[in-house]
Each structure stands twice: as C-alpha cells, then as structure tokens.
Structure 1
Amino acid sequence: MKTLNIKILSVFTLLCAWACTDPIETVISANPNAPALTSPSAGTSLILNQDISEETVIFAYNKADFGFPAAVNYTVQLVESGASFDNAMDIGNSNSNSVGISQANLNQRLIARGFVPDEATQVDIRVRAILGPTVDPLFSERVTMLVTPFREELTYARMYVPGDYQGWDPSNENTVIYSVQNNDIYEGFVHILGGSGAFKVNEEPNWDINYGGSNGVLERNGPDLRIAEPFGTFRITVDLNTLTYSIGTRRRWGIIGDATPLGWANDTPMNFDPVNNVLTITLDLIAGNFKFRAGDWAHNYGDTGSDGILDPDGANIPIPEAGNYTITMDWKVPGEISYEVIKN
C-alpha cells in the first residue's frame, strides 16, 4: 500500500509540474465591446465660462471589454463635427472611466485650434481604448455636441532656448519656442549667426530642468545641442513626449530690392539682436522697394496687405524716400512673421 501511494504521489507531482509550466494563453474576445461615451450626452451645449474657469469638465464613459481583465488606456478626442479624427485634439487620457479637464485648459486648446470665442461650434467627441501595441484599439461612436469658448488672450506652453547666441540666458522671455497645441511638442525659430552654435532647451526660465542631447535624442542635463557653421535661422522642434528634437534647414535672411545698396541682384544680410530675438539691419536706403529673402526666390517675403505681417511671395515693401532706416524681422509669434521699418 505504501508503494502504491508513493507511485500515485509521483504521478500527481509530474502532472502538477507539467500543468504549472504550460504557458497560459490570453484569448481576446472575437467581438470585444467598444467604450461608450455617457456624458456629455449628444446634443449637449457646453458653454465655457471664464468666471468658473478652474472648474473641471468631466467626460465619462463605459469601459471597453476585450474579453478578459486588462489595464486599458482611454483617450477622449475632439474634432469639429464631421472631420476626420486623424488630427484630433486629445482632451486627456486615463485608466479609469472618466477624463477631466479644467475649463481654462480646454478653452485655451480650443482657441489654439481656431475656435471662435463666444461662438458655438458643433464638435464630435469619441473615446479611444488602447490595450497594447499588438491589439487594435477600440473606438466609441461619435457624440455630437456644441461647445462655446470664452474670449481671452491665448497663451501657449513654452520652452526656453538659452545658448551662446544669446548669452546663455535662460530667463530671456524672447528666446522661446511654443507648443501651439499645448501637447508638449514645441516649435519655433532660433537665429544663430555667430559664436559656437551651442544651445539647450529648458522647461523653465532657469537651469533646473534643461535638455541637451545628440543625433535627435534629448537627454536631461545632457551635452549642449549644437549647430555647425554656416549659421543662420533654423526651425527647432522639441517633442517632450518622445524626448526627441530636430533642427530644420538653414536660412540666411537679408533684404533685397532697388531701395537697397545691392539692388535686386543680391541679399544684404541682416544681423541678430539677442536681447529682443529679432533680425535687424540699419542702413541707408533710396526711394524704391524691397523684400526679405533667404538666398533665392523660393524663400522670400513681402507684405500684400500693408499690415506689418509678412506673406510668402508677398508684395514689394515700399521705401517712400531716401534716408537711413532700421528694419527688423520678428519671428517670435507662432505662425506669424512681422516686420518694422523705421526712418532714423
């Protein structure tokens, strides 16, 4: 009897060992249930109010069901009604059954997207559920509603760009780049016309959180980012979501025209004002016209509306009479290049 018990125990142990080492497969449902937005409901009119701008707007939804318990990430997305969600505004994300955003934050992001203050705009909202990179995401049905932002000055999230070109001053509010969508992707222009070409990008106007790096990869407290000669104006893109950066094509801006010393044949290069972060030039001009150009006519600006805002291939800018002038070209405002012509 003892021998039989030992044999039975041995077989049972082997079966347990086999069962414990056999891989367990997670089976995803062939018909998973997508998330469903429950609040706000279809037809709701959301009127944002500056007086209660710190209050939170809640987007609630029923969770997705992939057929087994899992940690699912949910993102609430918004587009103008009928538009594709390929370029949707991500309101926020969560692992719970709701996403919250302050009225102030939502208002800023809507205005940055071009929504007109004090005007109701029809939008579509949906919820995206992501389980992992190997599983197709699930999407809720669109819910159509109205949203009305309030009027306020648009402020963008910003990063500071200290460097040799501006005296390594992280507190300079002019040498900054902006996240127009407030999505931690920052873009702007730097004018590096001399020095070592070294710079960094900082989250605040100090050195507490600064990024360097190399080969397109950012590193906190890393080595200086660097632009090699020849110098000029460069578009800088910084993505804090992926800790990457890119530096665009060099452009060396100047002025050209029959009002300038070199006529329409060649550019007269502009200089850099590191305090105000503008391109500038002071020189004698004659009556005539000029434009801004960067080496060839594929990159030129004029002013079609005579409004001080430059337009690609815009109209010639007149100089009514001969004299000594200071001309500036200002790239600081996102999506806009302005200029000024002052007779000294």
Structure 2
Amino acid sequence: MKKFFYIASAAMISILALASCAEKEIVTYNPENAVKPVLEAIAESYVLEDGAAFETLNFSAVEYGIATAARYTLYADVNEDFSSKKSLGNVTTDTVGITVTANTLNNALMSLNCKADVPVTVYFRMEAEMMGESAPVGSVEVLVSNAVTSSITPFNAEKVYPAVYVIGQFCGWDHGNTAFLFSYAEDEENYVGVVDFGAECADYGFKLTGAANWDNGNWGTGDMTSAEPEAPSITLWNDGGSGNISNYSSHRYYNFHFVKSSLTLNMIKGFDLVTVAGAFNGWATDATPMEQIRSNGKFYVDIDVDEAGAADGFKFVLDNGGTWLGAGEIEGAEDVGGGNIALEPGQYRFYLDLNDWDNITYSLSTADYGKPVDGGSDTPDEPDEPENPEDPDQPELQENLWGVIGTFAESNWSADIYMTEFPAGSGIWISPVLEFADTTQFKLRFNNDWNTQAGAVAAGDTLRTGIPTVAGFGNNVAQNVGVAKEQVGKRVVVYDAENNQLYLLGWSVIGAISGDSWGHDFPMIFDPEANTWSVSGLSVEGAFKLRWAGQWSTSEVTIPDRGLADGASFAVGTPISLKQGGGDINPGENVGTYNMVYDVANETLTLTAAE
C-alpha cells in the first residue's frame, strides 16, 4: 500500500509538471519586432574648448521584444556612411545619455585628420548591442539609430593614443612618471614606443601595465619567459607575481613593440644617442644631442640656424653615425640632395618621433623654440631675477618652498606664488586663494627652479576638486595644468608632495585644530560614490567649522560653510546635523583626536575616535 502511494504521488507530480510546462510561454527574439534607439538632435554648431564640456547626447531605449540588457555606444565620423567612425563612449542604460567632453571629441576629430579652428560637419549615431552575461550576443545584429549632425570647430591639440605604461626603477616605480608604448593603429592590440632608461641606469628591470595602477594588466616575466640578453622577442606573464623584465640592459634607449593578445614583447632597436647634424654644427655627429620627452616619447632640441647653417639641409643621427635618418628614411621629408632634409634659416625646436620605427616622423616648430618642452607657455628655463632688487614691487625670492607659477596676474610665468606646508613636515602644500579663468595654465616648482616641477601627466588635464590625482613630476615630464569651466573663480591648489598628488581644495576643517587657531585649512578628501568628504587624525582642541575652497563669505559673495544646525550639539559616533552659516562646532570637554566624515546629502558630520 505504501509503495502504491509513492507511485501515485510521483505520477501526479509528473502530470502537474507537464501541465505547467505546457502553460509556460517560450519567448524568442524576433528581429522584425525590434525597435532601434532614437538619438536626439543637438545644437547646430559648437566651438570646442580645451578642458571644457561638449554635450550630453540623449537617446531612447532599444526594444528587442524580450527582457535583455543592451550596451549603447556613441560614434562620430566626418563621413556620412560612418566608414571611419570613432567611439566617444558607451553605457548600459538609456536613462542618463552619454556625456562627451570637448577633449574626447577633439581627439576623435584629430584622428580623422580634421584641421584645428576649421568647422567641419560631424555625424553622430548610437549603436545598440544585445548583451549576454558578460559580452555582446554576436548572433544578434547591432541596431543603429538615426544620425544627427552638427558643425564642430576643433582646437589645436596633439592626438592622444591608447597606451600601456612602462614602469620600472628608471622612473622610481612611479605610475605618475612612466614611459609609454602607444597604439597608433588604435586597435589596442599593437603598442610601440621608445623607453629611456637613463644615462646612468643601474637597474634596468621594468614591467608593463594597462593603466596607472596594477589592476589592469601586470605584465612581467614568468616561468616560460626567455632570459636571453637582448632577446628579439619574449613572452610575458600577466600576474601579480610576475618578475621584472631584465633582458635589456646594453643601451640607454630601446624601441619596443608589445602585442597585447599574445603578451609578446619585441625589441626593435637599442641605441644610446640621438643627435642632429648639419652645416650649423659642421656635420658633427655628437655636437647637438636631443633629449626625450617621456610623456610622448619624442626627442627634441632647440637650434638657432643662420643662413650658412641651413645650407645643404640636415639629418638625424643615432649613435655617432651608426644610423643616419634623412629624407630616404623619413617619409614626407623634402630631399635637398644626398638624402638631406630641407632647412631654412630660423630658430627651431627640432622634434623626432622614433616610437613607430616603421613610420618615423619629424617636425620643426618656431613657436616652441625656447619654451618648456610641452610648448604650453613662455616660461623660462631658469627663474628670472628681479630686475631691480631694491624695487619694493618686486617679489622677494624665498627658498625651499613649493610655488605656483603660471598665467596668474601676480605670476605671469616669472614669479612664484609660494605655498605653505601645513602642518609643518606633513608634505601637504597649500596655495593662497588664486583667481582662475578657464584659460588659466600653471605648474608647480620647488625652490624657484624648473629642475623640480609638478604638473599634469598629459597636456589638457584639469584638476579635480577634493580628489587627489597623480601629478606629472620632473623636468620635461610635467605638463601645464588647467581647470574645468565649473571650477573658474577663486580656488586653492593643494599638493601632496609625499604622494605626488594634486587637487583643488573643496571642503576643509578650520578652527582650534592640531595646534592651529583658525589660521589654516585641513583639506578633506571627496568620495564621489558615497558623496562624502573625510579627513583623518585631527586633534580637536576647541571650536571648529567646515568651509569651502578655503574662504569665508563676504558682503559681495556667499561662500558655503557648515556649522551646527539649530538644536544640534557635539557628539562622537553619532551624526551631527549641520547647516549653512551654523554655529561653531565646540567639543567642550570632549577634546581628542578624531576622524571626520561629512555626508553631503544628509548634511551631517560624524566623528569617530582615531586609532
């Protein structure tokens, strides 16, 4: 009887299951039911500005007729058929649009050989891909939106290519000071470039990474990597435990080709000296050496060429005549006889790009002659002495300080605006309040000397408010820094010298803090995901407040600050309610060392005891 019950129960369950399956509708994708995304129109024309915003392009959602995710990619092209389209970004939601910066679009237009300051008709469209668990579904056709057009005027800027980072002892293992290999084909597969290990390098070990960190590719040697010195090719290992690449130590400079998919590193050429030879130096092969700009790998030197010196043209030379590079080796160079490159009298910065050995290029610039290597300013190589030391209007030189120098009226690239290290010995340097325009450009330098300078990693970079960003550091490396349009106005620059990081001051703590009495700001760091500002280890010795950008409100302008809200009081471990213009936050008898977190959305400050 018991056995019969089990059999009957199983039969009933099977019948119910079959009935359930019969009722369940099997949904399949039908391309005829799909609805393409629709891209909204934008303004008829734009003039792009370096460091500024361009536009947020909005669009409607793709409809597949089934529940599935999609990836939306925005493309731009100067050809109506999108035969040379460039990606401007992608998202996986249709609710926020795709925001494009002026620099992103400008870089795409430079890739399409558009001329600076000349309007060009640009076509935009959105492409939607059905997504599987982690990748597009290849069997489903990409759905393409309508195209919208606008007249775009790009600005003059060097093309920025995808790159991998070359990091090693030669750059202090600092991701803010690396060399690069570039994907000139923009296939993000083949990367080429020249690495300068330095004239007196003692440790040639290095690795490659896919970003300015160790989390996006950590390519070094493994068990199967050849240890052959000067090997033509080696296979790398992508692992945190990979070893340093140490095969190449016979030369100062190496031209490498890295193939990302196979992790193959090819050594194209090693050499020790790059010079320029012509009548201007008696065709000497070692008299006019070139230096390398680490950020883009190009070589440069300034030469004042008179009429006699321009006779018979010039050539570039490697290793005292070991290799000559003239019109026969550099495509597009004008041959004036014997392979010599044409040259007219004038003051030039000579540039030579050996990154892609199969496509060597050069250029001569009169505008860059005598300027810093980024070509971004008229800054001198050495600080100017005051014209009249007895003139009280001349700034007094101070030693062993970091200073801001740039297009500010009080600097004009000739005088440092000195920063204050506070607390003393902390390595945190804070500028006075500076007036920023959207065209402002500046750098930092130490002890009034261009040999120690900090700036942007790449030309066109702007500072972030409250978010420390690795700075370009060192002569011939640091680039000019600017600010975004929304940051124009009175701002304070913060430089963390210990970690080589730059940012603009946002929220800070000021008051009876860590031996100070309302005289200096203690910067807070912004977490954009949590929308909070925090600072650690402050000794609270009396009343304090929070304020924005190192300033207080005046009768002409209101500057954000935060103090106690009505009815609120000091507390530890419990959020304290704040408000604009609130009262001093007074610890009373609860003086001590605290970590602080300001929650922007909830207008609260939480203090916890510092360990």
| TM-score of Structure 1 vs Structure 2, range by shorter chain | 0.5 to 0.7
TM-score, normalization by structure 1 = 0.61
CA distance in 2 between partners of 1:155 and 1:255 (Å): 25
Task: Please give the residue correspondences for 1:1-344 in structure 2 after superposition, counting only pairs within 5 Å.
Answer: 9-16=9-16, 27-40=28-41, 45-50=44-49, 53-54=52-53, 56-65=55-64, 67-85=65-83, 87-97=84-94, 99-113=97-111, 114-131=113-130, 132-151=136-155, 153-154=157-158, 156=160, 160-164=165-169, 166=170, 168=172, 170=174, 173=177, 175-177=179-181, 187-191=192-196, 197-201=204-208, 203-204=211-212, 211-214=218-221, 215-216=235-236, 218-219=238-239, 222-228=242-248, 233-237=254-258, 246-247=265-266, 249-250=268-269, 252=271, 291-292=315-316, 301-302=325-326, 311-312=330-331, 314=333, 315=335, 316-317=340-341, 330-331=352-353, 336-337=361-362
Q: Per the alignment, in what secondary structure is the counterpart of residue 155 of structure 2?
A: coil
What RMSD over aligned residues (CA atoms) do the two structures have, in Å? Answer: 5.5
Check the 8 A contact 2:275/2:289 in 1, yes or no: no
CA distance in 1 between partners of 2:298 and 2:3 (Å): 94
Task: Give aligned-pair identity as a percent.
Answer: 13
Over 3 Å counting, the alpha-carbon distance change for 1:256 and 1:100 in structure 2 is: closer
Give the unaligned 5+ runs of structure 2.
131-135, 222-234, 302-310, 344-349, 366-611
TM-score, normalization by structure 2 = 0.38
Deviation per CA, 1:175-195, whole angstroms, max 9, x where unpaired? 344577999776532256986
CA distance in 2 between partners of 1:110 and 1:195 (Å): 40
Give 1 or 2 for the bigger CA radius of gyration. 2
Give the unaligned 5+ runs of structure 1.
282-286, 305-309, 320-327
CA distance in 1 between partners of 2:119 and 2:36 (Å): 27
Over 3 Å counting, the alpha-carbon distance change for 1:82 and 1:211 in structure 2 is: same
Deviation per CA, 1:219-269, whole angstroms, max 9, x where unpaired? 457432454477563144586xx795744533658789999xxx9xxx99x
Structure 1 residue 106, shift from structure 2 partner: 3.3
Over 3 Å counting, the alpha-carbon distance change for 1:105 and 1:219 in structure 2 is: farther
Over 3 Å counting, the alpha-carbon distance change for 1:150 and 1:318 in structure 2 is: closer
* Matching residue's letter, 1:88: K
Q: Per the alignment, in what secondary structure is the counterpart of residue 200 of structure 1?
A: strand
Structure 1 residue 293, shift from structure 2 partner: 6.7
Over 3 Å counting, the alpha-carbon distance change for 1:220 and 1:24 in structure 2 is: farther
Deviation per CA, 1:42-82, whole angstroms, max 9, x where unpaired? xx5241453992364223133141x4211121212222223
Structure 1 residue 148, shift from structure 2 partner: 0.8
Structure 1 residue 156, shift from structure 2 partner: 3.5
* Matching residue's letter, 1:143: A
How many residue pairs end up in the alignment? 306
Comparing 190-199 with 126-135, greater Cα deviation is found at 190-199
CA distance in 2 between partners of 1:318 and 1:154 (Å): 24
Over 3 Å counting, the alpha-carbon distance change for 1:280 and 1:10 in structure 2 is: closer
Over 3 Å counting, the alpha-carbon distance change for 1:227 and 1:79 in structure 2 is: farther
